[in-house]
Amino acid sequence: MEYSVPSHRASAYCVPQAQGMLCAAGKSRILLVVLCLAAAGLLCKSKWNLPDLYSQELRECNCPKCLTDGENDFKAQMDASPKPFLSIPSPTSEDDFNWWKNLQLEQRPFRFFNETVDKLLAIFPSSPPLERRSPDRCRTCAVVGNSGNLKGSRYGPLIDQHSIVIRMNRGHTKGYESDVGTKTTHHVMYPESAIHLDNSTRLVFFPFKINDLLWFLTWGCASHSKKPSYSDLRQVMIINPGFMKYAHEMWLKKRGRYPSTGFMTVVLSLQICDEVGLSIFGFGADRDGNWSHYFEILRNKKLRTGPHPGAQEYDVIRELNQKQIVRFFQGL
């Protein structure tokens, strides 16, 4: 005979079983919520702690410390910079042109300047061959001036360790390798300081007047017989006059008529290099107080820095060194 449980007893029997199942389901849900909260906490923690995978993605370079990680005042000064190089997307403003034309008493109008720049950018890169900062790369830089304090310094091997080595004007390495190194990735010059460059070196051209642009356009003009031996036009970078004005007003507070090529190169390096502590060599007077060049025999001990505020430029570089933004090697 089959045994059947009365309906009211069956209900009483099933209720505890159902309650147990519901309790088990509730515990599972609570456990799931706890796990979700824990995961969310770990995710938030990873976002708040530095350095972490999340924060590394936000950094602009892969150096131990990037120039863009600097203090707010320094970052504001950096962010105030116009685009350093002439390009179609970044033309020179008329206000910047009016400042620039007074450097060499330029008389021709803004329209003529723009026409000349358009001709240049039809030949040279319309956008400079400059790689942007990347979280996958750390570009170390050495800016090598031409001061006589480089003589006997033995800085050569140290200079050559940098991924970018910027030289300027008539500075050269042959015969001075132990003191100034052998590597050059970028060379800064203007018509009066032109030297021969090989095609592995990027030419950074500083124009101080419209005739400089015309000289560059035609590889020489009546007043300058020297022509740079340089055929890789893709590697040419032409400084924006607005950047020269920025260096004078933001970094030198308008002291002197205008900055030296060397000082503007230091300011430029802050824009194109990655690592805090970029290296600066060959600036300032030698140990006897002479503003001489390492590759020349000093004949005029009264030679100073002309229209450039050499002492103020030197002080700015020393201040950057004290703040550990640059490393200033002062030579002998």
What pLDDT sits at residue 126?
A: 72
What pLDDT sits at residue 269?
A: 94
Identify the CA nearest to 83 among candidates 72, 75, 91: 91
The partner residues of 203 in beta bridges, in order of sequence, read 187
- The domain defined by 67-329 folds into sialyltransferase cstii, chain A (3.90.1480)
294 is catalytic: no
172 is catalytic: no
- Judged by DSSP in three states, 58 sits in helix
What are the extents of the domains in the chain? 15-58, 67-329
DSSP-H helix ranges across 258-323: 261-272, 310-322
pLDDT in tens, the chain (332 residues): 433 434 443 434 334 444 444 344 455 555 555 455 555 544 443 333 433 333 344 567 888 888 888 788 898 999 999 999 998 888 899 999 999 999 988 999 999 999 999 999 888 877 776 667 778 788 899 999 999 999 999 999 999 999 999 999 999 999 999 999 999 999 999 999 988 888 889 999 999 999 999 998 886 333 444 555 555 677 789 999 999 999 999 999 999 989 999 999 999 999 989 888 899 999 987 777 777 889 887 766 655 555 667 789 999 999 999 999 999 999 87
The active-site residue, picked from 190, 230, 246, 258, is 258
For residue 204, what are its two tokens?
């950074």
What pLDDT sits at residue 179?
A: 96
What pLDDT sits at residue 13?
A: 36
